[in-house]
A and B are shown apart, each in its own frame.
Chain A
Amino acid sequence: MNPLPMPIQRCSSFAAGLLLLLTSAAHAQPDASNLLKAADKFRMTAANLQVQTQINVSNADGTPDKERRYTVFAQAGRKSLVLMQSPAEKGQKVLMLGDDFWLLMPASQRPLRITPMQKLLGDASTGDIATLSWADDYAGQLVGEEPCDDAGQTAASCWHVSLHATAKGVTYRRIELWLGKTRHQPVRADLYVLSNKLAKKARFVTDQPATPTMVTEMVLTDQVSNHKTTRVRYLSRKERVVPPEWLNPMFLVRNPPLD
C-alpha cells in the first residue's frame, strides 16, 4: 500500500473535519428555552402590555354562540389583570399574580380568592386570555422536526417542543407546541389539563404569513365536551406599565377607573 504524502494527508483530515462541522451545523438543534423565548415575543411583544382582546365562540355546527371583549394588562413577573368589557360581564375582573388568583365582581365589593380549577371556567378560560407567554411557566424539551400541519398534508416543517408546567397555577399541565423553523412563531398547539387529557387544540394566526411579526389570533377547538371553537383575537397591543396598586385586589374591588 502506498501511503499519501504527509501534506495531502493533513489536507484530507482538515477537509473531513470541516465537512463534519458543516454537517453538524446543518443539523444543529436549537435550544428549547431559546425557542420558547422567541415564540413568546409573537404574543407578548413587550414586557408590559395593554391588550384589547375579543373572543367569538362558535358551536360545533359553525353557528355563532357568543362574543366577549376584554382588556388585559399583562405585566412582567407573571402578573395579569383582565377587565371584562362585555355587557354580560361588565365590571368583572380577574387578577393573576403568579400562582394566586382573585375574582372581583362589581356588585360584590369583596375579592374572591379562586383556585386554579375555578380559573378554568368558560370556553376560553381566563388563562387563555391573560397568559401570553410560556417561557416563565413551562420547561421545554425539543422533540424534533415535524410537519407543521396537524394532518401532515403540507410540506412545511416545524420544531415540535414539549412543554411541562413548572408553575402550579397554570391552566394547562402540558403543551405540545409546534413553532416555525425560521422565525419560531407559534403555529399550533395541543393543550393538556391536569388529568393529562387533551382539552383543546390551538392554531395561531399571524399578521404576515411569510414574515410574521406577531400573533393576531388564536383559534381554540374544544376536544372534550362541546367541540366549540373559540377565536381569541388580539385587537390591539400597546406598551403599558400599570401602577402597583392596580395589582392589589383590595384596590380593584373599589371599581376605580382603569383607563
Chain B
Amino acid sequence: MSYATRSRFPTRPKTHLLTWLLVSAASASLPTQVQAQDLPLSGHVRVQQDDQQPNTTLTTPVPTGYSTVQTELRAASHGASAVVTLQQRQQGTATQSRAWVNELYATHDGGAWQVSAGKRVVSWDVGYGFRPNDMVQQEQRLSLASSTLEGRPLLMAEHFSADAAWSLVWVNPTGAAQNSADREPAWAARVYQQHGALDWYGFARVGAHSGASMGAATTWVATDALAVHGSVRVLNHSATQVVLGGSWTAANQLGVLLEAWRDGTTQQGHHRLLRISWAFEGWSPRLDVLHTPADSGRVVTAALAWQGDRVNVQGALRAFGGPPGAAVMQSPVRRQATVALTWAF
C-alpha cells in the first residue's frame, strides 16, 4: 500500500518530533496497566531517518530526506485482534501526523475451523523477491526497511488438519468492480498439503476486473543445507508468472539465496536475485543484487541489522544502476539510505 492512501489524522505542522516521541513512550508504558485488565498489548516504537538522491532525469518531485517516529500497537482479546500504527514524519520544517489500522478483525475459533471477518493481512506463496500467487495481499517485495503490512478487507473461512489446510477468501467485498487488481472484489482459494520434506500448494482466484487465474507452488528441503522453492501462476490463459529459487546455508550461518523469475505481465520479463547473508552474535549483514537481463538494469542493496533484547537497529543503502533505458533507471530515486532504531515492548 502506498503511503498516500493511508487514512490520515489532520496535519499538525507545528508539532515537534520530540512530542510524538513522548506520546509513543507513553503508549509503550500502557502494557502493565492494560494487562491488568486482561488485554494483552504489545508493539514497538521506531525512529527512522531516510535520505534519497532524486533521479534528475525525471521531473517527479521527491523528498531528499525525512525523519519518522512510529508506534505500532498490537492487541488481541476474545476473538478480536487489532494492529494500529501511529506515525509522525518530519520533512524540513513541515511535520505530518498520520494513523492507520493495519489489522482489525474478528475470528470465530471453531478448532479446526476458523472463520474471520475484517481487515486482515493474508500473505500467500513461497518466493522472496517475487510471489505471483500472493493472491489476497499482493504485497510489494524487497522493501528497503521491514514494516508491518496493511491488511485487506475480507471474509475468510479455513479448515486445518494435521498436515493439510484449505482457505477460501472473499477479498475487498465492497470494492468497485473497475478497481485495480489489488482493490477489486475477488474470490481466492488455497489448498495446502505437507508431505515430509515437501510442501505443496494450489491456488485459484477470480477477480471482478482481472478475471480468473490459477497457480501452484512447492518448497522442498533437499538436504541439511539446501531448500528449493518454485511457484507458477497462469492468468486468463494469456500470461504466465514463474519463480524458481533455492537457499543454501552453511554451518557458519552464511546464507546464499538465488532466485529467478519471469513475469509475463511486465516488459522487463526476466529477473534474477542474489542474496548473500550472514548471522553472527545478533548481527545480520546482507547484500542483495537484483538484475534484469533484458535491459541490464540492476538494484544493489546492502543492509546491516543488529538485534538486542528489546532494541533492533537496521541500516540499508540501495542504488539503482544500468543503462539510461533500463526500467529501474526510471525510478524517481537513484540512491536511498535508511537507518532505523526499534524498541519493542
Contacts and interface: CB of A to CB of B under 8 A. Distances in A.
B125 interface: yes
Interface size class of B (residues with CB under 8 A): 35 or more
Contacts of A116: 224-225
A222 B112 CA distance: 42
Contacts of B125: 110
Contact of B224 (A113, A115, A244, A247): A115
Contacts of A249: 194, 199
Nearest to B103: A255
A110 B128 CA distance: 11
Contacts of B149: 107, 109
Given A87-B345, A113-B221, A248 B109 contact: no
B22 interface: no
Contacts of A88: 307-312, 344
B160 A248 contact: yes
B221 A90 contact: no
Interface in B329-345: 344-345
Contacts of B123: 108-110
Given A87-B345, A194-B224, A244 B161 contact: yes
Contacts of B279: 121
Contacts of A99: 196-197
Interface in B230-276: 247, 249-251, 253, 255
A195 B225 CA distance: 13
A56 to B, nearest CB: 11
Nearest to B345: A87
Consensus secondary structure, chain A interface: loop
A226 interface: yes
B178 interface: no
A194 B219 CA distance: 24
Interface in A159-198: 168-169, 193-195
B112 to A, nearest CB: 5
B62 to A, nearest CB: 27
B162 A245 contact: yes
A100 B255 CA distance: 19
Contacts of B251: 117, 120, 193-195
Contacts of B111: 243, 245
Interface string A92-124: 000001011100000111110111111011000
Interface size class of A (residues with CB under 8 A): 35 or more
Most buried by B among A115, A168, A249: A115
Contacts of B109: 256-257
Contact of B42 (A67, A90, A169): A90
Contacts of A12: none
A172 to B, nearest CB: 12
Nearest to A114: B227
Nearest to A102: B199
Interface in A59-84: 66-67
Nearest to B77: A257
A150 B250 CA distance: 31
B187 to A, nearest CB: 19
A86 interface: yes
B66 interface: no
A48 B155 CA distance: 35
Contacts of B117: none
Given A87-B344, A88-B307, A88-B312, A113 B165 contact: no
Contact of A168 (B148, B192, B224, B307): B224
A14 interface: no
B114 A100 contact: no
Contacts of B253: 117, 120-121
A254 interface: yes
Nearest to A87: B344
Most buried by B among A88, A97, A100, A256: A88
Given A115-B223, A244-B161, A109 B197 contact: no
Contact of A66 (B122, B162, B167, B308): B308
A115 B312 contact: no
Nearest to A111: B199
Contacts of B161: 244-245, 248
A115 B162 contact: no
B177 interface: no
A18 interface: no
A250 interface: yes
B278 to A, nearest CB: 11
Given A113-B199, A113-B227, A117-B225, A244 B162 contact: yes
Interface of B: 42, 76, 81, 107, 109, 111-112, 114, 121-126, 137, 146, 148-149, 158, 160-165, 167, 192, 194, 196-197, 199, 219-221, 223-227, 229, 247, 249-251, 253, 255, 279, 281-282, 307-312, 344-345
10 contacts: A90-B344, A114-B227, A115-B247, A121-B279, A244-B112, A247-B162, A248-B165, A249-B199, A250-B158, A250-B160
Given A88-B311, A110-B125, 8 more contacts: A66-B309, A87-B42, A107-B149, A109-B122, A114-B221, A115-B223, A168-B224, A254-B158
Q: Please provide the 9 A-B residue pairs with the shortest distance between their CB atoms, ordered closest to farther.
A: A109-B123, A250-B165, A245-B160, A87-B344, A244-B162, A117-B249, A251-B160, A116-B224, A113-B219
